[in-house]
Amino acid sequence: ARRLVERGVRLIELYDADWDHHGDLATRLPNKCRDVDQPMAALIRDLRQRGLLDETLIVWGSEFGRTPLRQGITGDGTATKPGRDHHKDAYTMWLTGGGVKPGFSFGKTDDFGMSVVDQSVHVHDLNATVLHLLGLDHERLTYKYQGREYRLTDVHGRVVREVLA
């Protein structure tokens, strides 16, 4: 990815599959984290050392999070290599680099990670913020569908200015 950035490629997507841990969480999650944590840290370090991080936006996330509750309980209440189910109501996305405030956390969940209790960010807000960081006005960027103009951020998206550097 760093080499692509150095050559001026404007959009790079890295994809890592098999995060769907409905079972065997104790084994599978640590393995997946080992697969991505060090390479992501190395990418950020490389970009920073080469002076490219300030002009490169990294967005890390998924389409949903995981419930704080165990999944995989048998009828008698015993666990069978438990995992976690999909959770759309509270999860983490992180951004670093180009235009984002470093070392900053925004939003808060309850003590269980079940619900957002402060500074919720909708996906339309995330999209508006990313588009802003890419130099695009999310209110003017539209596409036509069935003769009508639509925004990628719907009508509710807002730039989350609190995370901007």
Domain ranges of the chain: 2-103, 121-165
pLDDT by residue (tens digit) across 101-151? Answer: 999 899 999 998 888 999 999 999 999 999 999 999 999 999 999 999 999
pTM: predicted TM-score of the whole model, two decimal places? 0.83
Sequence letter at residue 47: L
Give the pLDDT score at 78: 67
pLDDT by residue (tens digit) across 52-109? Answer: 999 999 999 887 778 787 777 666 766 677 777 888 888 888 999 999 999 989 999 9
* Residue 20 to residue 86: CA distance in whole angstroms: 8
Q: Which residues contact 21 (CB under 8 A, 6 or more apart)?
A: 28, 29, 32, 66, 83, 84
The beta-strand segments (E) located in the chain are: 57-60, 65-73, 79-87, 94-97, 108-109, 116-118, 142-145, 148-151
